Amino acid sequence: MDLKPETILIDVTGVLKLGDFGTARVYTLQYRAPEILLGSEDYTVAIDIWSIGRIFFDMLVAKNQQKRKLFDGKSEIDMLQEIFCKLGTPDEQKWPRVSSLPGFAFGFPKFPPQDITTLVAELDPAGLDLLSKMLCINPSQRITAKDALNHEYLKDDVTPGC
pLDDT digits (tens, 9 = 90+) for 15-62: 666 666 555 555 689 999 999 999 999 999 999 999 999 999 988 887
Task: Tell me how far apart the alpha carbons of residues 27 and 4 are, in angstroms, rounded to a whole number.
Answer: 9
CATH architecture of 31-154: Orthogonal Bundle (1.10)
User: Dihedral through CA 97, CA 102, CA 107, CA 110, nearest 10?
Assistant: -40
Q: Please write the tens of the pLDDT for every residue from 128-137.
A: 999 999 999 9
Beta bridge mates, 10: 16
Say yes or no to pLDDT of 162 above 50.
no
Residue 85, amino acid: C
For the annotated catalytic residues, the residue numbers are 2
* Rg of the chain, C-alpha, whole Å: 16
Q: Is the pLDDT of residue 161 over 50?
A: no
User: What's the number of CA atoms in the CB half-sphere (13 Å) around residue 34?
Assistant: 26
Residue type, 116: I
* Domain spans of the chain, in order of start: 31-154
